[in-house]
Amino acid sequence: MRYVFFAVIIGLLQLFSLGAALSLQWWLQPWTTSALQTAVMITVFIISNGLLLLSVSKLLANSYRWVSGWMLVMHFIILTAGFTGAVYGSYLLSTMVFGSIISQPETIAFGLRVFAFVLFIGLFVYALHSAYVPVVRKRTIHINKSMQGQLRIAVASDLHLGRLFGSRAIDRLGRVLVEQRADMLLMPGDIMDDNTHAYAAYDMQTNLTKLCNQLPLGVYATLGNHDLYGHERPISDSLRSAGVHLLNDDVLCINHQDQPVWLIGRFDNHKRERVATTELLSQVDTTVPVILLDHRPSDIIEHSKLPIDLQVSGHTHDGQIFPANFIVRAINRLGYGYEAIGLGHFVVSSGYGFWGIPFRLGSRSEVWLITVQSAV
């Protein structure tokens, strides 16, 4: 299965390279010779496969970022070419109905290339904005249990704290939580970007400690797959030192308006020996509100049959880059968003941070604010 996966990745890389090279050849056509057109094709394939070899051989530091970045460039080139083609097709259709508006083909060709260039740059600007400027998704849910007042829960998954997303992002999150008057923050996994190197180098603990002190009921988290790639201990220690309550296959009862609320946190299923949800539920009083943090939304169907009032998850990033968001939603019962399923309410966030490269298209950096109220 592993070899099939790598074969698919290599095949996709070649298809991306071909599409990007053909698109570039079209854009450069008025200013290049046939020899330069061939050089463009060869150069694109050399860059793609060169980066792939450097990544496999591990000769290039952070090679996955370079490969991901180049894939994004090619993807945006292809999207630009496709959209420009659609615009040109629409123009041709309009000339059939209303007649030719522009008589000079050279003017049309130049205009299309200007449009393509502006669109290409615009995609990068928009994708960068979508990765760094969060939106707040608000949802009020009613649970079939007695509860005093309302509990305002903020959810920020998949921060991936590292060199590209760090202290400023933490401070921005803190300002959002204060503005939204959140009672508590839940972080369901992938808090660090694989390790604590950048977290320590940029002293992010100061920022995270300040954030934890701003929440009346505190900050609670569980570890995701990127927190478990060989650096579980330093990541756990760093989070606890900042004031984050870690729930790794653990339960905790908090007090909200003199009423108990149970929190359950599970390890990501990257840790194969993690405790079953049913075993964790046996340790809590399910007649009061129960909230589950589970990094991946893979067990939602099973959890919908259990006395869990709210589950918060992440992991999917809602695909991060179009059209992967459609794939994510196709292979998961709930790949993104909110849905009431069975006995509970489920929220899968696209994440506050990003993985690999600081771009999002078709998804947004986000914070969820879930207001929990009693329906009885």
The confidence score (pLDDT) of residue 185 equals 98
pLDDT at 8: 83
Cβ neighbours of residue 287 under 8 Å, at least 6 residues apart? Answer: 145
What was the pLDDT predicted at 64?
A: 80
- CA–CA distance, 250 with 263 (Å, rounded to integer): 8
Q: How many other CB atoms sit within 10 Å of the CB of residue 193?
A: 25
The token duo for 346 is: 């489920």
Cα(12)–Cα(159) distance, rounded to whole angstroms?
Answer: 28
Task: Please give the structure tokens belonging to residue 320.
Answer: 């991060």
What is d(CA 10, CA 311) in angstroms, rounded to the nearest whole number? 36
Contact of 290 with 273, CB cutoff 8 Å: no
Q: How far is CA 106 from CA 109, 110, 112, 120, in A?
A: 5, 6, 10, 21
Q: What pLDDT does 102 receive?
A: 63
Give CA separation, 246 vs 12, 236, 254, 255, in Å: 39, 7, 13, 17
Q: Which residues of the chain have pLDDT under 50?
A: none
pTM of the model: 0.91
Please name the residue that has the structure tokens 């659609």.
86
80-113 pLDDT, tens digit per residue, is 999 999 998 988 888 877 776 666 778 888 999 9
Phi, psi at 252, each rounded to 5°: -150, 135
Looking at residue 337, its pLDDT comes to 97
- pLDDT at residue 1 in the model: 60
Q: What is the pLDDT of residues 117-161, one digit of tens each?
A: 999 999 999 999 999 999 999 999 999 999 889 999 999 999 999
Confidence at residue 31, expressed as pLDDT on a 0 to 100 scale: 87
Q: Looking at residue 103, what is its pLDDT?
A: 63
Give CA–CA dist 99/64, Å, rounded: 50
d(Cα 352, Cα 57) in Å, to the nearest integer?
32
Q: How far apart are CA 29 and CA 376, in angstroms?
A: 69
Amino acid identity at 318: D
Closest by CA to 366, choosing from 182, 131, 153, is 131
